[in-house]
Structure 1
Amino acid sequence: MILMRLEVRHLELVVAIAESGSLRKAAAHLHLTQPAVTTQLKRIEAWLGGPLFVRSTDGVLATHTGTELVRDAKKVLDQLADLERTARLNTQRESGTPLKVGGIPAQQFSLLVNVLAATRPRQEVTSRTVRETSALTALLGSGELDVAVMRRFPGFPLALPTGVEHRLMLSEPIFVGVHEGHPLAGRDEIALAELADEKWVMPDPDDSGMNEFVARACAAAGFEQRIAHLTNEAHIAFALTAEGRAVCQLYPIGTARDGLATLTLEGNPLHREIVLAWREDSPVASAVDELCREIEVRYRALVDTSPVYARWWLRGGADFALPRGA
């Protein structure tokens, strides 16, 4: 009687044979010779007491016993892979490997960094702001980032790589800034169509789709957006607006905007979605619920620091901004 014990390599061998349908292909996949695979399979079958595969001129086909063994072997191999992944993550945590955070320059980005630093005081947190959606996606896919705050505009979905999950955190309205002497400056809320005759200052178009989204919203309101100035510097956009040369987009929470009046828009036709994206194998994957809750609490505190945003939030804006069930 052959004395042996099933090992991981034996499970890998029978799975490789079943998936390839050929001893030759399985040998190539396992970097073994075909005679070695054949000999090892015979030993396994002798130990188990019956054939696992039926040989033919076209390859091999699993028997009933072989099918059940392959099914269970895959489960065991998957469990071992999970065990190794968890062990590696625990080792990384203990060895002080930093958490790598990326994202657009939005409030949620700094809040995420602060929350991670507060909840994981013994682990270093590194961060970098990245405006380009494709760059953030690539960094997450390669493992250069563990987690990122991203933006998404209606009609322009995110294409995230395998192994990266995401969750909507907030639908953030985009307001409009006009100079303090503008005829609309005394209004709290206007229709987007009331800006039909205005010139706009906008950032350079990028791969987020923001510029096209705004143009589409203006077209839906019955006019063609006229862009007179392009700049990626907020202070320049604010200065041009304060001088009455254009109107600009305003995110509800931000830096000082001297000389500007902030207008909210009826029906919130301009908005962006703030999304948290993370690698499934990152240390933060198991703490996403906690992170999102804490970020929301801190973001709500910031809402009260902006009088216009606070009024918008109280008159029904919260229902628009927060995901259902939040």
Structure 2
Amino acid sequence: MELRHLRYFVAVAEEGHFGRAAERLHIVQPALSMQIKALEEELGGPLFVRTSRMVTLTAAGSALLIEARRTLEQAERARATVTKSLRGDLGSVRIGFAGNAVFSGQLTADLHRFHRAHPTAQLEVVEVPPQAQVESLLAGRIDVAYCPDHGGGLISPALNVAQIGEWPLLAAMATDHPLTSRVHIGLSDIAAEPLIVYSADESNDMLNVLRAEFGREPVIAHRASNTLSVVALAAAGLGVALVPASLADIAMPGITYRHVMHPELSARLVRISRRDETTGAVLAYLALADTPPNESAWEED
């Protein structure tokens, strides 16, 4: 018994006439009659009482009509559910992020676009330290990661990496720090300063540049796991931090930013996902995130 047989049967039962049912189904009447006859033979008895003007259901036909409608409704629900899942309207996207993903606006813009396009999908957002994001992706705890590109071979071949932003670095320091008297500073100006760095910075590009510039290891005063901690320590006067320029747009008490004059210093943000991803919602999220945004998307709300 196939679903099309049940659709043909329901159409004849509801129309009470083979000709009208055939028109409704967009098939010729002889073909419809043959399909109903084959269904009756398969089930072992007549489903209709046929007259010259109309057809009526037998007792067996009435019993089948109830079950056929249920089966067709369930089949349609299954089809709709699978279609929604493949389209990204069902399921969830679990996103891990580091601080600059928020401060730069990249994460919020991607979340906004996805929610507008797929409002019934679930979004789970959690801050994950950069050094833990790759492991969390590979372990299946998150689906997408927004991570600083610290270099040092952090990325697995099982993952896709897309650079989504790059900003110059600023020196962040307490408002009463002597270097705040200058509009621009060079790396030589902070060579003797205790530095506050991210915990993930053991082998990143920034420290390599500082080592080359200073001719020695930088003085690391503190390591912090996230951007807010780095800025809080700098604002408290515990050292100077090199942070993405996107942070300057966020008003924070006690902190001052100064441009650092060096062409090789920048902060890069990458979006990481699994290469073998099959979840519809995650694939839809990544597809939207990789599409150039409509500049008027925010104004439309």
TM range (shorter): 0.5 to 0.7
Assess, with a 3 A threshold, how the Cα gap between structure 1 residues 251 and 288 changes in structure 2: closer, same or farther: same
Identity %: 19
Answer yes or no: is the 8 Å Cα contact 2:98–2:226 preserved in 1. no
Alignment pair present for 1:258 and 2:250: no
Aligned structure 1 segments of 4 or more residues deviating by more than 6 angstroms: none
Give the counterpart of 2:214 among 219, 222, 244: 222
2:120 corresponds to which letter in structure 1? R
Match of 2:109 in 1: 111
- How far 1:176 sits from its partner (Å)? 0.8
Gaps of 5+ in 2: 1-80
Q: Deviations over 1:68-100 (max 9, x none)?
A: xxxxxxxxxxxxxxxxxxx96854658831222
In the aligned structure 1, how far is the partner of 2:202 from the partner of 2:293? 24
Q: Indicate the SS of the match to 1:174.
A: strand
Higher RCO (CA < 8 A, seq sep 6+)? 2
| Root mean square deviation, CA, Å | 3.5
After the TM superposition, which residues 17-56 of structure 1 pair with which residues of structure 2 at under 5 Å, given as runs?
Answer: none
Answer yes or no: is the 8 Å Cα contact 2:169–2:265 preserved in 1. yes
Assess, with a 3 A threshold, how the Cα gap between structure 1 residues 99 and 246 changes in structure 2: closer, same or farther: closer
- How far 1:114 sits from its partner (Å)? 2.9
Gaps of 5+ in 1: 1-86, 302-326
Match of 2:38 in 1: none
Match of 1:153 in 2: 150
How many pairs align?
Answer: 208
- How far 1:240 sits from its partner (Å)? 4.7
Answer yes or no: is the 8 Å Cα contact 1:102–1:109 preserved in 2. no
Q: Deviations over 1:119-151 (max 9, x none)?
A: 211222122221143x32233334443322122
- How far 1:174 sits from its partner (Å)? 2.5
In the aligned structure 1, how far is the partner of 2:187 from the partner of 2:290? 32
1:226 corresponds to which letter in structure 2? V
Structure (1 or 2) with the larger CA radius of gyration: 2
Match of 1:122 in 2: 120
After the TM superposition, which residues 1-326 of structure 1 pair with which residues of structure 2 at under 5 Å, given as runs?
Answer: 90-91=84-85, 96-105=90-99, 106-107=101-102, 108-133=106-131, 135-154=132-151, 156-162=152-158, 164-203=159-198, 205-206=199-200, 209=201, 212-223=204-215, 224-232=217-225, 237-238=230-231, 240-242=233-235, 244-254=237-247, 255-279=250-274, 280-283=277-280, 284-285=282-283, 288=286, 290-293=288-291
In the aligned structure 2, how far is the partner of 1:137 from the partner of 1:233? 16
